Structure 1
């Protein structure tokens, strides 16, 4: 989690950037979501496209009102311009595979959820890491941006909390193809921590079903229920919801217990729940 400090993005001359683009119907789409779509086009599907063709594809697939200049800037920030793509990728992509999960700390899922601050007309980001067996949100990041470095810090805190650094069999980390997760910083950290990172194929959110389900709850029970006037207000609301979800909200798939209570009981008792297939 961040400390709540608010920083505004700027470009040359100090002009603030909006951090989003509009669709043809006027819906605001944050830059981080656009970067995820770009990474799926370039790395997920192997499109040998430069920024000009990527712009056309984004307009066609997502009805974005976006300029070539902006797509160039987003690609440059991700090191996805064509000269960079010709370089050897040091961390090969590992596709997610079917698994049967029988206990905690076997498979963790990570993803990013976007919220909107009406009073400041900008987005904020919630990166959550969930254990698919006990459903606990082990750690999370809230911020006005969400980078590969933020994902690394969240993962590191989760490994410390679950005392996994000294374990021979560490959790597998499953993500989509978001810019945070294809970054050099995140892949290098996974290798350094000695954990396996697998990514789901593009357009297969069902393979990240547990974190997707949690983020739907976060939207329905927190983000979608109030209009935030400030980042501080949004930050506080998300923190309170995370505590409620982990410590008080009962979950039918884990014996009608809150995630944290189920996890603690499972450490000392033999609890039987439905097999988790992912």
Structure 2
């Protein structure tokens, strides 16, 4: 085969050469001479004549268009298949945020060897966003360090509690900014979703009879744990429902009705007065005759919730869940003595340091102190001719004006 026969020849050129060969043959030339005249071999001439012999320019043009369309469709199908493969490749959840899209584009470039432009088109990521280099402001470095320090010390608390803690330390921080940095640093705490329950008809529940002042309603319930040797630990937390204070937190290997009375006596001696009501479930230690008789002697009443309705003792359940989440699930107690020491430290921290969202992000002890000072009423003598507030004896004789009256 000659050198020029190996060169690619278009359909229009082939048609033109065949027409020239046909003119030469009509002038008396043979096929071999005509083929040599147009610069091709005899087999190539006959192959061209068989393929393009009856075609004109319009037919060749249409054939060329069909070939181009076929090539375009093949490329489109291949591109579509590649796009589908690229969309299935990232996996691992929805690709929604710019950061997740940035990771997906980089993965496609590395795994499927596609260009960044193509990967961005498939993922739906602007190339300017993909190429943007995140530069965290220097002012966030100190705040991030404080958030990490707080999350390390209190791993079961969220960003709202962290923001309130930083504000109490004197830092001016925005809640949304704290939430953004908390999320970026991966400090989020997964929360369990609880089903909402109806209030029910329990007249002694927290929803039907709630506390309105300090020492009005106490609540208690048992929490169980164990030491490293498998022996049981029985915790008895008592909390004030109004201030959320931990009135008592005792732990023993076992507790009966006499131990409940002992813990209540110590709590009343420490607080200086007995509550008006005490709320509990119908456990045998709480409904025992010895406990009920002692409570009656002290002059306060019991509020027993309905059986199988722990949500009616909501404040005790809430404290017990915090106790388990922040202490019992984090500590491995070697001995009973160690449990007593750590329980005492947790109660002090809970009352004096731990911020409570229901109290306006104040510790319970600080809230109780502020409430007492705000509700300590001193009756002063009125000005002018008003009659001063006095008390009367049984014989209706007036005595000195009323002194300070404490409502707590």
Superposition TM-score, scaled by structure 1 size? 0.59
Alpha-carbon shift at residue 198 of structure 1 (Å): 1.6
Three-state SS of the structure 2 residue aligned to 1:101 is: coil
Query: What residue ranges of structure 1 are gaps of 5+ in the alignment?
Result: 1-93, 271-278
**Cα distance between partner residues in 2 of 1:130 and 1:213:** 10
Displacement of 1:216 in angstroms is: 0.5
Q: Tell me: CA distance 1:100–1:124, structure 2 relative to 1, closer, same or farther (3 Å).
A: closer
Corresponding residue for residue 235 of structure 1 = 340
Question: How far apart are 1:95 and its partner, in Å?
Answer: 6.4
**Does the Cα contact within 8 Å between 2:239 and 2:245 map onto a contact in 1?**
yes
Corresponding residue of 2:220: 110
Check if 1:248 corresponds to 2:353. Answer: yes
Structure with greater Cα Rg? 2
2:291 to 165, 182, 186: 186
Which residue in the other structure is 2:244 paired with? 135
Which residue of the partner structure matches residue 266 of structure 1?
Answer: 371
Q: Is the 8 A contact 2:245 2:364 kept in 1?
A: yes
Give yes or no for contact 2:249–2:344 (8 Å, CA) kept in 1: no
What is residue 224 of structure 1 aligned with on the other side?
A: 329
Q: CA deviation at 1:158?
A: 2.2
**Kept after mapping to 1: 8 A contact 2:249/2:343:** no
* C-alpha contact (below 8 Å) 2:251/2:339 kept by paired residues: no
Report if aligned partners of 2:214, 2:368 keep a CA contact under 8 Å in 1.
yes
Matches within 5 A, 1:22-61: none
The CA distance in 1 between the partners of 2:332 and 2:268, in whole Å, is 34
What's 1:155 paired with?
264
Q: CA deviation at 1:163?
A: 2.3
Q: Secondary structure at the match of 1:133?
A: coil
| Structure 2 segments unaligned to the other structure (5+ residues) | 1-201, 376-408
Q: Distance in 2 between matches of 1:163 and 1:227?
A: 34
Q: TM-score, normalised by structure 2?
A: 0.41
Aligned CA distance change for structure 1 residues 194 and 219 (closer, same or farther; 3 Å): same
- CA deviations on 1:8-47 (whole Å, 9 max, x unpaired) are xxxxxxxxxxxxxxxxxxxxxxxxxxxxxxxxxxxxxxxx
- SS at structure 1 position matched to 2:221: strand
Alignment check: 8 A CA contact 2:251 2:340 kept: yes
2:309: which partner in 1?
204
Identify the structure with the greater strand proportion: 1
Between the two structures, name the one with larger relative contact order (CA 8 Å, sep ≥ 6).
Answer: 1
CA distance in 2, matches of 1:156, 1:231: 22
Question: CA contact under 8 A between 1:95 and 1:199: conserved in structure 2?
Answer: no
Give the corresponding residue for 2:70.
Answer: none
Alignment of 1:75-94 (within 5 A): none
- The CA deviation at 1:189 is 0.6
Instruction: Judge conservation of contact 2:204–2:305 (CA < 8 Å) in 1.
Output: yes
Q: Distance in 2 between matches of 1:243 and 1:145?
A: 23
Larger relative helix fraction: 2
Q: What are the equivalent positions in structure 2 for 1:168-179 lying under 5 Å apart?
A: 170-179=275-284
Cα-to-partner distance string for 1:35-77 (whole Å, 9 max, x where unaligned): xxxxxxxxxxxxxxxxxxxxxxxxxxxxxxxxxxxxxxxxxxx
Give 2:230's aligned residue.
Answer: 121
* Aligned residue in 2 for 1:96: 204
Deviation of 1:161 after TM superposition, in Å, equals 2.5
- In the TM superposition, structure 1's runs of 4+ consecutive aligned residues that sit over 4 Å from their partners are none
SS at match of 1:198: strand
Distance, in Å, in 1 between the alignment partners of 2:263 and 2:203 is: 22
